Chains A and B, each alone.
Chain A
Amino acid sequence: MKRTRQSRWQSTILIFFVISFFVGFLLPGQAHVVREMKQTYQNQDPQDLIRVIKDLQQHKQDLLVEETDMSQKVMQYLRSSDDTAAQVNQLQHEATALEQRTGAVPLAGPGIRITIREQSSGSSPSILADEDLLLLLNDLWASGAEVISLNGIRLTDSSSVYRAGLNVRVGDKVTSMPLVIDAIGDTENMSKGLQIPGGVLDLLNLRRIGAIVQKVNLLRISN
């Protein structure tokens, strides 16, 4: 009798052990499956995929513009193979467009102006970090900015932007706060891009850094 009870008791413990082992075995496997699923694009948040698709559609348009432009240049060059004046005209036209892009000439157009002020008073002053500034500029480029300047200093392909003490360095130039960022481009899109909930302006506001966005009909950015 005693032996039977002992045997039943041992069986119960054995079953309990097997169940525990099985559950313990399943859990990491389940975690692995979840992790794998997250890495598969089919299991991404649809909103993220929609954003990627919109980005790709915009890129498709940009590539189409560039392809059409290149085709026209090739055709023009073929047509003007014996016409030096026409070739010169074509080359000068492209050079002018490239000088605008590389920051060699001043530009003007509609855009937005963002004025950023830190709170230097109080026990815990709010300071604009490098990452905040990079994120803000990134969001401007992503939402249609064509040209950007910081306190009148135009950003080029080689411009780095970072804090140097209380100042801001833009390439080899130094400027100070408050920071006035002018961006020529798609005014509506840039404005919306900055003000999406949880976006860069919300981030700055949470950290008590004032950022005022104004639409401007005509901004001028010097070279």
Chain B
Amino acid sequence: MITRGRNGSLFLAALFIIAAGFGYLLAVQFEPTVNKAYVVSAQNVELVEIMKGLEKENDSAAQRIVDLRGQLGELESKGAATSDEVRVLTQQLGELRAKAGLAEATGPGVIVTLSDSSRTPTLSDDPNYFIIHDGYLRSVVNLMRRYGATAIAINDQRVLGNTPIVCAGPIILVNSSRMSPPYVITALGNPEMLADSISQDVFFRVLEVYRDRFEITCSLETKTSVTVPASLNNAVFKYAAGAK
């Protein structure tokens, strides 16, 4: 009896400590989350509205630019029929625009697809291995250029030499467009050569290790035809001028 009584008290004390511990843990876990959720949401609603408004305006401007380019192309074609000089210059200009990434490009190539892991990291995992970072995209684009890609796009955005791929927290931006996974990186070029070289590169092999271990998506496919969109960024240089 005495033993049971003492054991019972000990058990109840242990139960009290465990319950209190759980309560404390729960309170600690909920408190900052709940507070932050209310405060941050209230702060951010306006910012998100501004962001979406700007995206809508930019999408409309992009469409108007595409339409104007089409209109100019038609006028130039008509002009080319009137004079040999205009025809030759129009042709040269077309080649220069293609070289500058201002024209859509289609041809054989490869597609690399990267996406965050669908698996939830456990407490002992480093969550950094479960997501695709902006640096991965830069490195894959660099690999594609290294092995002969002639035109590159990430999702629906053309990537030129001066296109920054940046992150703002968890958001990756390419040409100021928010990218969402999966990140589909398309490259024009010799498909076999690109695929062989990329798949053997150390960086790509590391991504494959992450795929096997942390379940991120990392795939490489050859394609007989891929299309990369034209760049809309054709701003005239403000600081650089022709040098003699």
State whether these chains interact.
yes
Q: How far is the CA of A108 from the CA of B156 in the complex (A)?
A: 33
Query: Dominant SS at the B interface?
Result: helix
Given A60-B54, A147-B240, A158-B161, A99 and B96 contact (CB-CB distance below 8 Å): yes
Contact A44 B171 (CB under 8 A): yes
For the complex formed, measure the closest distance between the CB of B208 and the CB atoms of chain A, giving whole angstroms. 18
A59 adjacent to B30 (CB under 8 Å): no
A63 lies within 8 A of chain B by Cβ: yes
> Do B100 and A98 have beta carbons less than 8 Å apart?
yes
Whether the Cβ atoms of B40 and A43 lie closer than 8 Å is yes
Whether A77 contacts B75 in the complex (CB less than 8 A), given A26-B26, A35-B120, A84-B82, comes out as: yes
Contact A142–B164 (Cβ < 8 Å): yes
The interface size of chain A toward B, counting residues with CB under 8 Å, comes to 95
> Is B68 within 8 A of A71, CB to CB?
yes
A53-B86 contact in complex given A108-B240, A108-B243, C-beta closer than 8 Å: no
Report whether B161 and A53 are in contact in the complex, using a CB–CB cutoff of 8 Å: no
**B44 contact from A41, A110, A156, A184, Cβ within 8 A:** A41
Is there contact, CB below 8 Å, between B86 and A88?
yes
Taken together as a complex, chains A and B put the C-alpha atoms of A201 and B159 apart, in Å, by 25
- Taking a contact as CB atoms under 8 Å apart, the answer to whether B168 and A74 are in contact is no
Which of chain A's residues 174-205 have a Cβ closer than 8 Å to chain B?
184-186
Q: Which residues of A contact B75 (CB under 8 A)?
A: 74, 77-78, 81
Q: Is the CB of B29 within 8 A of A30?
A: yes
Are A88's CB and B85's CB within 8 A?
Answer: yes
Would you list which residues of chain B between 167 and 210 have a CB under 8 Å from chain A?
168-171, 173, 175-176, 178, 203
Closest 8 CB pairs of A and B: A48-B169, A59-B176, A108-B243, A160-B146, A142-B164, A70-B68, A160-B145, A56-B54
Contact surface of A with B, Cβ cutoff 8 Å: 5, 9, 12, 16, 19, 23, 26-27, 30-31, 33-35, 37-39, 41-53, 55-60, 62-67, 69-71, 73-74, 77-78, 81, 84, 87-88, 91-92, 94-102, 105-111, 130-131, 134-135, 138-139, 141-142, 145-148, 155-162, 184-186, 220-221
